[in-house]
């Protein structure tokens, strides 16, 4: 019944220095909420809560790299959801789209581990699944309207963190 679902896990994400020259902005998430601070963690503001306090929707996966912040556009935020969900906001967190990657890309094996922006509308998600022969990296180039496998040539191993060329 706790609206934060997983209150003892504290992943932190920071915008690029271009977007935050003060170094005071951070994001963190729980199972159902995304929080933001702009004063170096002296105070936190809730960006979004999925579900209600009576019925939290614990859909943000608790992993160190759950929050993907776009390198140039502060309105683009992605969250690695539980159950293979991809959560994307194009307006700074006011509205969210949800895609089940296990349905969008056959063979994707959930266990999201990170969400990483590369370019204006290109977003990658990774899976730390240890199952053999599954898809572990997927991408969209249209803010989540369509998805494809993107792990061609990678070893058949769990992907715990994804790095992408963010200059695009």
Write the pLDDT tens digit of every residue in 101-127.
Answer: 999 999 999 999 999 999 889 999 999
For residues 117 and 166, the model is more confident at: 117
pLDDT at residue 3 in the model:
74
Apex 69 CA angle, 133 and 81, nearest 5: 45
As a whole number, the mean pLDDT across the chain is 93
* Pair of tokens at residue 31: 């199972």
From CA 122, how far away is CA 22, in angstroms rounded?
27
From CA 52, how far away is CA 57, in angstroms rounded?
7
From CA 35, how far away is CA 37, in angstroms rounded?
7
Mean pLDDT across 89-98: 97
- Judge if pTM exceeds 0.85: yes
- Alpha-carbon torsion (6, 136, 124, 19), positive or negative: positive
β-bridge partners, 29 = 34
* Pair of tokens at residue 55: 């019925």
pLDDT-derived band at 56 (thresholds 50, 70, 90) equals: confident
Is residue 96 pLDDT above 80, yes or no? yes
For residues 162 and 167, the model is more confident at: 162
pLDDT at residue 165 in the model:
79
| DSSP notation for 87-109 | EEESSTTSS-EEEEHHHHSTTB-
pLDDT at residue 72 in the model:
92
In the chain, the percentage of residues whose pLDDT exceeds 90 is 83
Beta carbons within 10 angstroms of residue 67's beta carbon: 26
Is residue 168 pLDDT above 60, yes or no? no
């Amino acid at each position: 019944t706790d609206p934060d679902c997983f209150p003892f896990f504290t992943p932190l994400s920071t915008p690029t220095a271009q977007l935050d020259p003060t170094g005071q902005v951070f994001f963190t998430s729980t199972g159902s909420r995304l929080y933001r601070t702009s004063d170096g963690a002296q105070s936190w503001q809730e960006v979004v809560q999925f579900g209600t306090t009576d019925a939290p929707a614990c859909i943000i996966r608790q992993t160190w790299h759950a929050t993907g912040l776009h390198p140039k556009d502060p309105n683009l935020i992605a969250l690695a959801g539980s159950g293979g969900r991809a959560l994307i906001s194009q307006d700074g967190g006011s509205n969210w789209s949800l895609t089940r990657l296990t349905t969008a890309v056959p063979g994707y094996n959930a266990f999201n581990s990170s969400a990483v922006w590369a370019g204006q509308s290109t977003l990658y998600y990774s899976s730390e699944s240890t199952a053999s022969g599954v898809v572990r990296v997927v991408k969209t180039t249209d803010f989540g309207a369509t998805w494809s496998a993107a792990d061609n040539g990678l070893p058949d191993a769990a992907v715990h963190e994804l790095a992408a060329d963010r200059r695009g």
